[in-house]
Structure 1
Amino acid sequence: MLHLRVVSPVDRTDGVLDLLGAHPGVTHVVLLRGAAVDPAGDVVEADVAREAADEVVASLCALGVDRSGGMTLEQVDTALSDAADRAEEAVPGDGADAVVWEELIARTGEESRLNATFQAFLTIACLLTAVAVVTDSPVTLVGAMVVGPEFGPLAAIAVGLVLRRWDLVRRAGTALAVGFPLAMLITAFGAWLGSRADLFDRDLALAGHQVDFVFEVGPFSLIVALLAGAAGMLSMTSAKSAALVGVFISVTTVPAAGYAAVAAVLGEWDICLRSVAQLAVNLVGVVVAAALVLALRNRRGRRRDVGRPLSSG
């Protein structure tokens, strides 16, 4: 279930109540007259079955509530109510499979912004990769994969391509185009300082070890990227968000970027170029698979809604 809160202008509250009351996937409707201060109006709250949320939000937007008032959606972890059970049973589909498009756009839009936090996480992840390379530590490499925030912009690009939201594509593309080179430059500087301070042995760092798979580009590089992209998008569009951690550990985007920086400092340009190629393969593979999954889910959702008009006040 999702908890919906609507700030409604007084002249549209009756329409909002009629819309929510008529929809079988809505329950626990609460009206607070005059409770909203800015923007002024009434507050209407309700619990909505996840399968019905996209339709309900679209209907409220058709009433203009999003322009003259506002809406928020929150995940309800536990709902102990026969009315809630009936609402979930009354709408077709399963909550775990339902896509709330506005929620997805808002989430990917927020995670695709180039800001100090995104850049800091990406840089730390690349630096962790550098440590993993020079210390031959797969555990540290896994830590770098988990810390890396790059799936957010990749998912945003996929969403933007499928929904033709070019603003999302531009924003996410900028985050990746600026974020990765900057993180790699900082990592290269850190590796250079480490070599100057004799923190690691160059020959040992270049010797064959357990993290060499990062720059070994092959068919499985693309296969893993495609599978990770598909799993990541399924996770973001359903209630199975915990699966995202597994996606982060699967793809070698951040490790490839960090390895390329270290290899460049050590003058190993072949390894550097292969690492960059690995990075490109993973980025493209994740976006392609995520976009395909999202396109299929979008198509299924539209087929299900054919002939089912939106509720209106």
Structure 2
Amino acid sequence: MRLVQVLVPEGKSEDVLEALDGQGIDYALFEERGRGEFEAMVQFPVPPEGVEEILDSIYAAGIREDAYTIVLPTETVVSSRLAMLSERFGGTRISREELLARARDASPVNSTFFAFLVLSTVIATAGLLLNSAATIIGAMVVAPLMGPAISASVGTVLNRQELVRRGVFLQVAGLIAAIATGALFGLVVQGTQLIPPNLDIREVAQIAERTSPNFLSLFLALGSGIAGAISIMRNAGSALVGVAIAVALVPPAATSGLGIAWGLPGVALAGAVLVVVNLLAINLTAMLLFYFAGYRPEEAGRGEGAGATTRRAVRSRAAFLVGALAALSVVLGLVTLTSFQAAAYEADVNRAAQSFVDQLPADQRVSFERAEVDYRPADILLGERPRVDVYIGVRFGDTIPEDFADRMDAHLTEQTGREVVTRVGVIEGQTATEDQGVTARLPRPNTLVAV
């Protein structure tokens, strides 16, 4: 329940009370003596879903520019007369005025915003280098990126350009700052003993996850944008939703920064693309959800012209976001397709290598151990040949033919339809006597034949 208080300017009491009577609202009227331009204060309880409609009827009386309006949450209102109002104003969303106030409060002042963003990026970058998902999630708790995304979306549907400008500025400037922070942090730690020497960041799982984004990555951003809008409209779970939005934005930005620090343009570009795609998706879904929830500027109820202007603004911005998202999604589509092709190729290689060993004469006593395939989505796009390491097991003291690797290479090329660079690793093993019942095998190959 909400308690609404409105200061009524001189000469407007009759219009305001007539509007409230027309809405069937019980109200209390108090004489105002604090300021000469106001003659009364009217207050009334109303369910949250009815605040917007009731205030619109009061604003229609022409007091918007002169009156002070205060909407207060109430702990308890005891009255059997409110049952009819609660039944009339069924719903789950807050009023336009409350939404606007929450959007303004969601974005902290610039100094606080950038301080928290830099701190969260430093922690997230450390978590990426440590390959620690827990550290990355912990960093997201302090990342302040939900507020600007919500502010921009609310400003669009309510035609508040100051909110749009501030929201867009904080998002763009904040993510640029996050990439720069990740790059600077990466440059600093490279010259220390905090990370292993000659670390290849592309082999770190948490970083590799963000350098091969696919369409599944997009669902995190889409879901986060919808959840952010719902949490603001219903005042529930906004802190947890803020973590989800930050997870979609800060780690990819930190990954892009690390790519810059390590001089790996592919990593930097992949992280940046994921950041931009997620940013667009979050803003698009939040804006559309607010719009379809029925939020419109106050002016939209006063004439068709104002409503048409809002519709045009929302449609044009939605079209821009959808167009940009579709263009960048081509990258996600290529990565998704090539990732599937790389996984399928690895499975084909294992089957082909197994079939090659199975066809060998029994007296060669060779067993297939495993095949390791180095074939990434980028290799597929660039037309690079896959690199395959095939490990076979032989009895201790046995040898393999000198052309074994060449024959394996030809077999893999024929079976998979791709020219391949093949290396064969030989693992020598020895079986103990039968009563001991154990088998000893060297952990790594002691012979390597390359083609």
Q: May I ask how many residue pairs the two structures share in their alignment?
A: 297
**Superposed counterparts of 1:63-212, under 5 Å:** 63-91=61-89, 93-94=90-91, 96=92, 98-112=93-107, 115-201=110-196, 203=198, 206=201, 207-210=203-206, 212=208
CA distance in 2, matches of 1:39, 1:202: 74
CA distance in 1, matches of 2:5, 2:295: 28
**197 and 299 in structure 1: CA distance in 2 versus 1, 3 angstrom threshold:** closer
Q: TM-score, normalised by structure 2?
A: 0.59
Matched, 1:30 2:25: no
Q: Is the 8 A contact 2:231 2:241 kept in 1?
A: no
Matched, 1:282 2:278: yes
CA distance in 2, matches of 1:187, 1:225: 21
Q: Write out per-residue CA displacement over residues 155-186 of structure 1, whole angstroms, 9 at most, x where no aligned residue.
A: 23223333444443222211222222223323
Q: Which amino acid aligns with 2:55?
A: V
**198 and 63 in structure 1: CA distance in 2 versus 1, 3 angstrom threshold:** farther
Q: Which amino acid aligns with 2:283?
A: V
**37 and 136 in structure 1: CA distance in 2 versus 1, 3 angstrom threshold:** farther
CA distance in 1, matches of 2:284, 2:215: 15
The one of 225, 240, 257 equivalent to 1:261 is: 257
Aligned match of 1:310? none
Q: Which amino acid aligns with 2:2?
A: L
CA RMSD of aligned residues (A): 3.0
Q: Secondary structure at the match of 1:298?
A: coil
Q: Is the 8 A contact 2:124 2:254 kept in 1?
A: yes
Aligned match of 1:12? 12
Q: Write out per-residue CA displacement over residues 112-131 of structure 1, whole angstroms, 9 at most, x where no aligned residue.
A: 57621222222222122112
Q: Is the 8 A contact 2:210 2:274 kept in 1?
A: yes
Q: Is the 8 A contact 2:256 2:271 kept in 1?
A: yes
**64 and 271 in structure 1: CA distance in 2 versus 1, 3 angstrom threshold:** same
Q: CA deviation at 1:283?
A: 0.5
Q: Which amino acid aligns with 2:84?
A: R
Q: Secondary structure at the match of 1:5?
A: strand
CA distance in 2, matches of 1:90, 1:162: 25
Q: CA deviation at 1:85?
A: 3.1
Q: CA deviation at 1:204?
A: 5.1
Q: Secondary structure at the match of 1:45?
A: strand
The one of 291, 294, 300 equivalent to 1:295 is: 291
Q: CA deviation at 1:228?
A: 1.7
Q: Which runs of 5+ in 1 are unaligned?
A: 306-313
Q: CA deviation at 1:31?
A: 3.0
CA distance in 2, matches of 1:35, 1:204: 74
Q: Which amino acid aligns with 1:151?
A: M
Q: Is the 8 A contact 1:113 1:171 kept in 2?
A: no
User: Is the radius of gyration larger for structure 1 or structure 2?
Assistant: 2
CA distance in 1, matches of 2:11, 2:21: 17
CA distance in 2, matches of 1:64, 1:194: 63
Q: TM-score, normalised by structure 1?
A: 0.81
**235 and 31 in structure 1: CA distance in 2 versus 1, 3 angstrom threshold:** same
Q: Secondary structure at the match of 1:4?
A: strand
Q: Is the 8 A contact 1:145 1:252 kept in 2?
A: no
Q: Write out per-residue CA displacement over residues 125-154 of structure 1, whole angstroms, 9 at most, x where no aligned residue.
A: 212211211222211211222322222222
Aligned match of 1:234? 230
Q: Which amino acid aligns with 2:125?
A: A
Q: CA deviation at 1:87?
A: 1.9
CA distance in 1, matches of 2:65, 2:22: 23
Aligned match of 2:218? 222
Q: CA deviation at 1:220?
A: 0.9
Greater mean deviation of Cα atoms: 196-205 or 141-150: 196-205
Q: CA deviation at 1:101?
A: 1.7
Q: Is the 8 A contact 1:129 1:259 kept in 2?
A: no
Q: Which amino acid aligns with 1:189?
A: L
Q: Is the 8 A contact 2:178 2:250 kept in 1?
A: no
CA distance in 1, matches of 2:9, 2:237: 38
Aligned match of 1:56? 54
Q: Secondary structure at the match of 2:11?
A: helix
